[in-house]
A and B are shown apart, each in its own frame.
Chain A
Amino acid sequence: MIPRIYIPGDSGALALGAEKVAKAIAGELAERGIEAKIVRNGSRGAYFLEPMVEVATANGRVAYGPVKPSDVKSLFDGGFLTGGHHKRWLGSPDKIPFFAKQTRLTFARCGVTDPLSLESYKKHGGLNGLTNALALTPADIVAQVTESGLRGRGGAGFPTGIKWKTVLDTAGDRKYIVCNADEGDSGTFADRMIMEGDPFVLIEGMTIAGIATGATKGFVYVRSEYPHAVAVMNKAVEVARKAGVLGASVLGSPYAFDMEIRVGAGAYVCGEETALLDSLEGKRGMVRAKPPLPAHKGLFGKPTVINNVISLASVPVIMDKGAAFYKDFGMGRSRGTIPIQIAGNVKYAGLFEAAFGMTLGEIIDDIGGGTATGRPVKAVQVGGPLGAYFPRALFDTPFDYEAFAAKDGLIGHAGIVVFDDTADMLKQARFAMEFCAIESCGKCTPCRIGSTRGVETIDRIVAGIEPEKNLALVTDLCNTMKFGSLCALGGFTPYPVMSSITHFPDDFKPAPVRVAAE
């Protein structure tokens, strides 16, 4: 058997030098005249270990990381092709604590398999969900997804099964499945990882959604900032078509389903579902008023399921192992697992899939290992640019949709950005308003004008002009934006702003006082 070497082609790993490592390994193989197969897998998500190179040995996979090009010669000298010892030796990836503590359902194959090999996908349980779904009626598939308790992983947390049922029950000569892969929230990269590391699971999930609702065409709307994900998805769709997973007869069944990958053009607001639909139609990405719901009148006015990447990618495991299996994980009304993305100023940054219910403190301190700079954690922003900043005092909050809402926060797409004690929360609050002003689609006044006025008012606080009066004004403005905006961009910008004001009042005191306090 020729040795197999896994070197991630994931863009996070590439950003840390995986391409140079791959070249060095290929060069060393050629020089030593060794025949080996290099597989460009996805990342398992431990970015503090990337580039993490693995070799398949008689005793299973052995990992090495983080590997630098300069390590390659000594890796070969140390016999790494048979799992030999080296200063970068990590042993079996499954036993590395960061992975061992996880519950990998949606990301079970990510970083393990060859992303573009359908054989590899099937060998690791791929297509079982679709095969099971084909034996059921559409209504039964929808019932399974509903029963699993799966809720929208894009941030809104709406029950996926109910969305599907609405589309199934709505008559239409043509229906669509739209996958929202416009993952614009800072601190999130789960969609990118799964598209680059296990694209077939998304294709399988979308195909199941099509069969369940009577839709025959799917679109994946990927943001343009993700060129690697776009490339992998396009290749995977080709492979799936050739293998008959997509096409006029899905796996030989009477069902037809095909899909296209579409690329966004740098507008954050297109992550909002109705703006995304307008963008797909070739319009400005303007938010639509609801009703009508996309499930009734969505893409080109047809009944449309629009789901986040992770929601759709979680469907295959539900259809494979059953609703009860999936539902068994989690807490309260948050069922199953959630890929938590630990990012920013944190020691062990990466993707950690776990059942709902871990506390924020466990995630940041135990899994994340505190800050990268070694300074105390001051704040964590959960749920992207529209998520609240939580202080350490709220670290006992369990990761659960309702628990976060109760503390005036949100899980969003489950990204967590850690800040150390050098963070200036007034600056973060100002940025939230500024970002909203840059990205507002302009349709509703609270978002379009409110965000600009918000920046100006915070600037007056910075300048020491009537700080108390202006702080009250920002609070009032946030209230207007929260309740008066058409979508979550204007409606949720108050979360980072108000949480900064509420939890870090010292940062909003006039400049002389702030200096004196330090």
Chain B
Amino acid sequence: MTMQPASTEITSRTAAIIQEMKGLEGPLLPILHGIQEEFGHVPKDALPVIAEALNISRAEVHGVVSFYHDYRSHPAGRHVLKLCQAESCQSMGSDAIAAKLKQLLGIGFHETTRDGSVTLEPVYCLGLCACSPAAMLDGEVIGRLNDEKLDEIVAEVRS
């Protein structure tokens, strides 16, 4: 598993991100995106630093972080696989695809394999509805999922 950075390091790296974004109008979401990009998740120790810099309460920062699906409280696996579960993909058998993938990886949605190789997440629409069922692996899009493509994905995340 990824080592958690020490809290002083989190503080200084967070402060640098805040410094860069602070001038934006409504800077909180861009700051949180920056922090997640830096650490792979939004560490708890970053919240008071943000609160202090933006002059809002820690509760408000926590409220925002916990509202949005994207922000993680813990690091994800080395790969992140998002599988679309919305209507268009449902019409093309995404339920069966999800079941098969869960079985192949041995995990459910919102879980990470024990070896830390991959985190599986549901997503509600990737805008690839004309080539359903669709998925996104580490930001790369994959359409018309089938058993063959699932095997390729599993092989890639395990390598």
Which residues of A come within 8 Å of B, CB atoms?
11-12, 14-16, 45, 47-48, 50, 183-189, 191-192, 217, 224-228, 260, 262-268, 279-285, 300, 341-345, 349-351, 372, 381, 384-385, 415, 417-420, 423, 428, 431, 435, 438-439, 441
Query: Given A11-B141, A262-B30, A267-B68, A189 and B129 touching (CB < 8 A)?
Result: yes
- Contact with A283, one of B64, B128, B132 (Cβ below 8 angstroms): B64
Given contacts A264-B29, A265-B69, 19 further A-B contacts (CB under 8 A): A12-B127, A184-B124, A186-B125, A189-B127, A224-B33, A264-B68, A264-B70, A266-B69, A267-B67, A267-B69, A280-B29, A284-B64, A343-B132, A344-B129, A344-B132, A351-B130, A428-B87, A428-B90, A438-B124
B26 and A282 within 8 A (CB): yes
Q: Give the contacts of B94-144 with A (CB-CB under 8 A).
A: 123-132, 134, 136, 139-144
A308 to chain B, nearest CB (A): 14
B33 and A263 within 8 A (CB): yes
- Contact with A281, one of B26, B67, B131 (Cβ below 8 angstroms): B26
Which residues of chain A are near B147, meaning CB under 8 Å? none
CA distance A226 to B136 in the complex (A): 10
A282 and B64 within 8 A (CB): yes
A-B contact count (CB 8 A): 152
A187 and B87 within 8 A (CB): yes
B130 and A284 within 8 A (CB): no
B150 to chain A, nearest CB (A): 15
| Majority SS at the chain A contact face | mixed
B63 an interface residue at 8 Å Cβ cutoff? yes
B130 and A47 within 8 A (CB): yes
B17 an interface residue at 8 Å Cβ cutoff? no
B141 and A15 within 8 A (CB): yes
Query: Given A11-B128, A16-B143, A47-B130, A284 and B63 touching (CB < 8 A)?
Result: yes
Instruction: Pick from A47, A264, A343, A428 the residue with the most CB of B within 10 Å.
Output: A343
- Contact with B70, one of A224, A281, A282 (Cβ below 8 angstroms): A224
Query: Given A16-B144, A186-B89, A349-B131, A268 and B124 touching (CB < 8 A)?
Result: yes
Which residues of chain A are near B123, meaning CB under 8 Å? 225, 266
Nearest A residue to B61, CB-CB? A282
Q: Binary interface profile of B, 22-42, with partner A (CB < 8 Å = 1, else 0)?
A: 001111111011000000000
Nearest B residue to A11, CB-CB? B141
Which residues of B come within 8 Å of A, CB atoms?
24-30, 32-33, 54, 63-64, 67-71, 82, 86-92, 123-132, 134, 136, 139-144
CA distance A228 to B136 in the complex (A): 12
A448 to chain B, nearest CB (A): 13
- Contact with A262, one of B29, B32, B127, B141 (Cβ below 8 angstroms): B29
Which residues of chain B are near A439, meaning CB under 8 Å? 124
Which residues of chain B are near A186, meaning CB under 8 Å? 86-89, 124-125, 129
A191 to chain B, nearest CB (A): 8
Which residues of chain A are near B136, meaning CB under 8 Å? 225
B90 and A431 within 8 A (CB): yes
A431 and B87 within 8 A (CB): yes
Query: Given A282-B64, A344-B87, A265 and B130 touching (CB < 8 A)?
Result: no
Which residues of chain A are near B127, meaning CB under 8 Å? 11-12, 183, 188-189, 191-192, 225-226
Nearest A residue to B31, CB-CB? A282
Which residues of chain A are near B28, meaning CB under 8 Å? 282-283
Which residues of chain A are near B26, meaning CB under 8 Å? 262, 280-282, 300
Which residues of chain B are near A415, meaning CB under 8 Å? 88, 129
- Contact with A418, one of B63, B82, B91, B124 (Cβ below 8 angstroms): B91
CA distance A381 to B33 in the complex (A): 34
Which residues of chain B are near A420, meaning CB under 8 Å? 91
Which residues of chain B are near A435, meaning CB under 8 Å? 86, 124
What are the 9 tightest A-B residue pairs by CB atom distance, in nearest-first order? A282-B28, A15-B143, A186-B86, A265-B68, A343-B129, A266-B69, A47-B130, A349-B130, A344-B91
CA distance A95 to B115 in the complex (A): 53
A385 and B87 within 8 A (CB): yes
Query: Given A381-B87, A385-B86, A350 and B141 touching (CB < 8 A)?
Result: no
- Contact with A47, one of B71, B86, B131, B141 (Cβ below 8 angstroms): B131
B134 to chain A, nearest CB (A): 6
Which residues of chain A are near B86, meaning CB under 8 Å? 186, 385, 435
B125 and A185 within 8 A (CB): yes
Query: Given A12-B130, A186-B125, A282 and B27 touching (CB < 8 A)?
Result: yes
B67 and A284 within 8 A (CB): yes
Instruction: Pick from B27, B67, B91 the residue with the most CB of A within 10 Å.
Output: B91
Which residues of chain B are near A191, meaning CB under 8 Å? 127
Which residues of chain B are near A372, meaning CB under 8 Å? 92
Nearest B residue to A282, CB-CB? B28
B141 and A265 within 8 A (CB): no
**A–B Cβ pairs within 8 angstroms, 23 of them:** A12-B130, A12-B131, A12-B143, A14-B140, A15-B128, A15-B131, A16-B143, A183-B127, A185-B125, A225-B126, A266-B68, A267-B67, A267-B68, A268-B124, A285-B67, A285-B68, A300-B25, A341-B130, A342-B130, A343-B129, A345-B92, A384-B87, A385-B124
